[in-house]
Amino acid sequence: MQKIIATLFLASLATFGSVQLSSAHGFKGGEIFIDHPMIQEAPPGARVLGGYVTLQNNGAEDDRLIAIESPAAEKVDLHQSVVTDGIARMTPLSEGLPLPAGQIVWLGDNGTHAMFVQPDRRYAVGDELPATLIFEKAGRVEVTFKVEERSTELAPGHGDHGQ
């Protein structure tokens, strides 16, 4: 289960403070506040892009991110990278990402990420990708992922995946 994570979230803000400030953007779907959906810039020809987003459940009921769709990619998977003996492996988040009532969850914690497979073109820093987040209760919410500079803090080993 995902651990929630005020502390890690704050740590990430510290790490990416300037980026966060310069490109903060948020969306709202029902009781879910969707903060700062971002994608890490990848080298030309990359077949996958890693996406990250902060999800704040302000409601009284638990919810769940069950899927992401994007017209800019062949498909989007929810993944978790687990590093075992120095080798990163991807496992699907088959139950989605749980969003307990009153909690902030970062898709990005513990190696979790959205994987945009086969993007339709190269996306560079500053570009935007449209996507729809699909929640169990809050339903479908349209958002925009912004492309930012790559950081090794996110999804260890992701660069080795699928390339």
**Binding Cu ion by CB under 5 A: which of 36, 64, 79, 146?**
79
- CB nearer to Cu ion: pick between 91 and 144: 91
Q: Which run of H or of E encompasses 18?
A: helix 17-23
Are 130 and 144 in contact, with CB atoms under 8 Å apart? yes
Rounded to a whole number of angstroms, the minimum distance from the CB of residue 115 to Cu ion is 4
**Binding Cu ion by CB under 5 A: which of 39, 90, 97, 133?**
90
Residue 64 interacts with Cu ion (CB under 5 A): yes or no:
no
**First-to-last CA distance in the chain?**
28
How many residues sit close enough to Cu ion to count as binding (CB under 5 A)? 3
Rounded to a whole number of angstroms, the minimum distance from the CB of residue 117 to Cu ion is 9
Alpha-carbon distance of 125 to 148, in angstroms, equals 5
Alpha-carbon distance of 108 to 28, in angstroms, equals 19
**Binding Cu ion by CB under 5 A: which of 65, 105, 115, 138?**
115
